[in-house]
């Protein structure tokens, strides 16, 4: 809890935010201070990069639709 995450939901979008709660039924996580992210990759840069962000407040993400979860380290 309290960790900053980047949750990749589709091949071209995801969400960043602070983990505030986990639910079992339905399986999911709540993120506060959430930001929707758009990801893009190219032949020259095959690892998807964040190209834009849009502010959200709080969001529930169903884990059945998550491709990847990354823990972001504060710098």
The domain segmentation of the chain, as residue ranges, is 4-72
pLDDT digits (tens, 9 = 90+) for 4-20: 999 999 888 999 999 99
Model-level pTM? 0.82
No. of H helices and E strands in the chain? 0, 6
- Residue 66 and residue 7 in contact, taking contact as beta carbons nearer than 8 Å: yes
Report pLDDT digits (tens) over 21-64.
999 999 999 999 999 999 998 888 888 888 899 998 899 999 99
Query: Right CATH number for 4-72 from 1.10.10.1100, 2.40.30.10, 2.30.30.100, 2.60.120.430?
Result: 2.30.30.100
**Tokens encoding 51:** 């190209």
Cβ atoms of 28 and 63 within 8 Å: the answer is: yes
């Amino acid at each position: 809890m309290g960790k900053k995450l980047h949750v990749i939901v589709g091949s071209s979008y995801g969400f960043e935010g602070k983990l505030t709660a986990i639910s079992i039924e339905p399986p999911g996580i709540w993120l506060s201070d959430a930001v929707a992210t758009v990801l893009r990759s190219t032949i020259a840069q095959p690892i998807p990069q964040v190209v834009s962000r849009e502010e959200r407040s709080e969001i529930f993400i169903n884990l059945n639709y998550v491709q990847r979860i990354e823990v972001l380290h504060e710098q």
